[in-house]
């Protein structure tokens, strides 16, 4: 007489739970990949025209410049760094920025 192996209820629950965990992990991985791709598409792009920004350093402050529309963009905290530039050097700092934009 052949013995018919019938999986127990606990075994079925185990595989259902395992499949659910695998699906959850796969969804999380795909969401992470989509977010990374979106971040790469918008990283260092001009908010005005969408062209690539060029980072330049002036007086220890890094500014992002758009060669297409001549826009200048500052990251968080950089405007505060400009405020710490010595008053005597502020004119030189601003003129160097304006000179860069004219190029």
Query: Is the CB of residue 62 less than 8 Å from the CB of residue 75?
Result: yes
Whether the model clears a pTM of 0.85, i.e. scores above it, the answer is no
**Residue 89 token pair:** 């050097």
- The pLDDT, as a whole number, for residue 30 is 93
Tokens 């606990």 sit at which residue?
10
- The pLDDT, as a whole number, for residue 7 is 59
What is the C-alpha to C-alpha distance for residues 26 and 30, in angstroms, rounded to an integer? 6
pLDDT averaged per 10 residues, the chain (length 103)? 63 89 94 83 77 81 85 80 65 64 52
């Amino acid at each position: 007489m052949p013995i018919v192996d019938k999986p127990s209820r606990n075994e079925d629950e185990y595989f259902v739970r395992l499949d659910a965990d695998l699906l959850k992990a796969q969804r999380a991985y795909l969401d992470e990949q989509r977010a990374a791709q979106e971040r790469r598409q918008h990283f260092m792009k001009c908010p005005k025209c969408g062209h690539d920004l060029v980072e330049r350093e002036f007086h220890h402050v890094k500014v992002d410049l758009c060669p297409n529309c001549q826009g200048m963009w500052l990251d968080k905290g950089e405007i505060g760094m400009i405020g710490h530039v010595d008053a005597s050097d502020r004119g030189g700092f601003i003129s160097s920025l304006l000179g860069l934009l004219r190029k």
